[in-house]
Structure 1
Amino acid sequence: MRVGLLTGGGDVPGLNAAIRAVVKRGEGDHGHSIIGFRNGWKGVVDGDVMPLTRQHIRNVLATGGTLLGTARYHPHADDGGMDAVLATLEAERIEALICIGGDGTLKAASRIAEAGVRIVGIPKTIDNDVWGTDRSIGFDTAVTIATEAIDRIHTTAESHNRVMVVEVMGRSAGWIAVTSGIAGGAELVLAPEAPFDITRVEKFLKHRHRAHASFSIVVVAEGAVPAEGTAMHYETQVGQFGEIVAGAIGERLKGEIERRTGFDTRVTVLGHTQRGGTPTAADRILASRFGVAAIDAINAGRSDVMTAIRGERIELVELQEVAGKVQHVPDDLLMVAGALA
């Protein structure tokens, strides 16, 4: 069987581990030919292909990024995109397709599956907001990087008696902010799931600095917003393609805190550092398990499903159930972040 493979959306550490697992299991144990598409769905539309054999995956396990390249392109949102995908798959004699991506990539995969193509998805996103799976590829590495950054920022904050605002990624869900904030000992964590009151932030910081500390760490997700009816008005800043402008909420929060409290305040935007570099052991293992499960599902004739981890078990969930949903940080984890302030 000729099985296509692509990585779409933003890159994350662990993608190459998943590619490696698909190739090793698919070629070695099932006898399939794995055909890679460069640059995500755009590569499928353009017919930009490359063979993937054991030779191509040597020494990639610990390498960040994706050897296939990636792009933020969704064929179902582009005139003629769906037809072009189907034409390429027919021309390349692709009998099944494995798509590694976040919500946008997987939504496109579900649309292609509806057209009769056998498809299995693998979830990846540092935001960990893909519904149906406890964890996605890339999340553990991003949290590890963010936690290390917060640890380092603590020493500067304490040395200079500053409030340090650390902005992390998280458009619709605050998984990175909450988990790294807890792990890094942040005093305040602001996440999209719980709109904040800037007056309460001001009072908390003033009380803390009067009572027992001369510095504070505030971790904020890029998608965090103030609650309606509170003293701070802010609209999320987005770029040309709908992406949140990095640093927008961090800088605004810095200005508000400094103006309201008089405390010297600085902002650090971690940005794309959260996506880059060597994947953690946890991400390598998760990606490898997902890769094996995906090619096994293809071999068993499954379609329109996504690999997922629930507890410690790898399961398959229907792609149609995943599309358009967001996995938010649960209330009990938000409570822990607040309780440890």
Structure 2
Amino acid sequence: MERVDCVVIGAGVVGLAVARALALAGREVLILESEGAIGTATSARNSEVIHAGIYYPKGSLKARLCVSGRVALYDFCQRFGVAHRRCGKLIVATDDGQTDGLEQIRQHARANGVEDLRLLDGAQLHALEPALHAVAALLSPSTGIIDSHGLMLALQGDAERHGAVLALRAPVTGLACEDPGFVIEVGGEAPMRLHATTLVNCAGHGAPLLAAGMRGLAPQHVPRAWYAKGSYFSLSARTPFTHLIYPLPEPGGLGTHLTLDLAGRARFGPDVEWVDGLDYSLDPARAERFHAAIRRYWPGLPDHALQPAYTGIRPKISGPGEANADFRIDGPATHGIPGLVNLFGIESPGLTSSLAIGDHVCALLELTEPLTA
């Protein structure tokens, strides 16, 4: 049996950020990825938005890691040449009955340490975005967009520069806790057994399933996995907007919002559809619901202008009708197993938070100072 120091399961944006943080801390790191490329699931099927940290409950991991992660991510993009743009976001009230909601969001954001939101009235909005229909909005200037694949390549490159090794097509088929360390069964074309001192489960959608099959981990430390599909549609015409446009949040997500890619093309979504597994099919008929939601803030949306783009599935640990769960990053203090960290429910703002998540994992493993509120 081959012995390794740290094994990170999963090469999405969070797994790569965790592996990089461990490598920077001087650890020998092996990344196991079941697919033939990095970041093929949640990391490749999202809005590519750098979030400010506005909505999440005060003191939650989502709030804390998003705010610190956003600062770290902009710095990382500058240092490593990752394409991004701080384009800003407008959270819009389309009628007078929604304006109180904007003020609640602003107060909530302040509690999270987001101090730069500005309240705009209808005239200011019209000057900024003439095509937008809204009576008021919050401008979030620190919201941006990013090339998610470019980010993952930069994280992988820096992790490898510090000694990390990536193994593709290396699915984990079994896990067991030993005293000390872990035995990891790896399938694929060259099956092997590994013994690791440290194990970090960053498997995204598959993290609860892997943890549930881990011998030596008590069942009460494994949450149920839920899957919330989000469909995206692209705009066939040229967009009149230069900012991201978000309605007020809705249960399960942030509403049918307009985001931009780095080429300036617009896309809409995601909506929320609870599904039983990883079904990435897209029903073109869902565009009808999108039209109605979009026209509340953009009445000028042309007929038949939405084209099916792609879907993503949020790796949730809370189900329909339940409050959105916080990130679960369970270290030894939670489950009592030295060297083990399980990451569950790392949905949005996971990309924005990725660098801070890497630091937090190191803190749980007592490799750095713990994160404080």
TM-score bin, normalised by smaller chain: 0.3 to 0.5
TM-score by length of 1: 0.35
Higher strand share: 2
TM-score by length of 2: 0.33
Higher helix share: 1
